[in-house]
Amino acid sequence: MNLREKLKLYVITDRRLRNEVESVKEALEGGATAIQLRLKGVPTREMVEVGKKIRKLTEDYDTLYIVNDRVDVALAVDADGVHVGQEDMPVDVVKEIAPNLIVGVSASNLREALEGERKGADYIGAGSVFPTRTKEDARLLGLGGLREIVENVHIPVVAIGGINHENIREVLKVGIDGVAVISAIVGTKNIVEATRRMKEVIEEYKGRGTKQLTIILIN
């Protein structure tokens, strides 16, 4: 599995917007390349039940499957990885207790991104790129901060926070590996269509990047 490729369009669940299983089914049909199960304030047993259903779906679509915060749930549902924030388990501790999980770390500035990389993270979730109401406690990174992270870490970078169909091109220009989205996909009526449209823009840009590289090589 090419992690950079798998991180291209990373859809995060949000129960306040739509049931997890429903939204994941539709996002997968629309072409999501990664799914993050994010459940807050839900009993562990329910997390495991929902998480196993999503494992089946992501397996059918050969999609990367990440669980937010909970290493135990990630292990119990056989997810590919876990995503941890600055208040969650430290990356090095995750790697100690679950060496086979892919670990993503949220970073809202360069220092956090470099620390995550140093402690063994496999990718960085960098944000918030734009102001957002989905994660109210998110600190603003901005496009400038995002660029700084992309230029300084060697692991893949996924941009997150307030990204939608209107502003996604500005984010792609920075040269990130993927885009993480909650409300612009899970908060829409037609999740399949919203995913498909976003995927098209990403592939168009990624394709263009390759062409530019080809031209440079020819010159």
| Footprint of a second copy (CB under 8 A) | 43-46, 48, 69-73, 75-76, 84, 86-90, 93, 96-98
Cα(206)–Cα(171) distance, integer angstroms:
12
Provide the minimum distance between the beta carbon of 66 and a second copy in the complex, in angstroms, as a whole number.
15
Provide the minimum distance between the beta carbon of 72 and a second copy in the complex, in angstroms, as a whole number.
4
**Is 162 annotated as ligand-binding?**
yes
Which among 146, 132, 40, 36 is positioned nearest to 87, based on CA atoms? 40
* Prior bond of 128 cis (ω within 30°): yes
Decide if 23 is catalytic. Answer: no
135 CB-side CA count, 13 A? 23
Query: Nearer Cβ to a second copy, position 108 or 164?
Result: 108
Angle between helix 20-30 and 44-60 (nearest 10): 20
Query: Nearer Cβ to a second copy, position 70 or 135?
Result: 70
**Is 108 annotated as ligand-binding?**
no
**Is 40 annotated as ligand-binding?**
yes
Decide if 106 is catalytic. Answer: yes
Query: Nearer Cβ to a second copy, position 4 or 52?
Result: 52
Q: Out of 6, 135, 197, 199, which one is annotated catalytic?
A: 135
Residues constituting the chain: 219
Q: Out of 6, 18, 55, 106, which one is annotated catalytic?
A: 106
- Contact (Cβ atoms closer than 8 angstroms) between residue 130 and residue 162: yes
Query: Nearer Cβ to a second copy, position 18 or 135?
Result: 135
Around Cβ 39, how many Cβ atoms within 10 Å?
Answer: 20
Residue 105: exposure state from Cβ atoms within 10 A (0-12, 13-18, ≥19): buried
Query: Nearer Cβ to a second copy, position 76 or 192?
Result: 76
- Contact (Cβ atoms closer than 8 angstroms) between residue 146 and residue 176: yes
**Is 132 annotated as ligand-binding?**
yes
Provide the minimum distance between the beta carbon of 7 and a second copy in the complex, in angstroms, as a whole number.
23
Cα(179)–Cα(159) distance, integer angstroms:
5
**Is 135 annotated as ligand-binding?**
yes
Provide the minimum distance between the beta carbon of 44 and a second copy in the complex, in angstroms, as a whole number.
5
Q: Out of 8, 38, 70, 197, which one is annotated catalytic?
A: 38
CA 206 to chain centre: 17
**Is 60 annotated as ligand-binding?**
no
Provide the minimum distance between the beta carbon of 86 and a second copy in the complex, in angstroms, as a whole number.
8
Binding site members: 36-40, 68-69, 88, 106, 132-135, 162, 182-183
Binding site members for Mg(2+): 69, 88
**Which sequence positions are flagged as catalytic?**
38, 106, 135
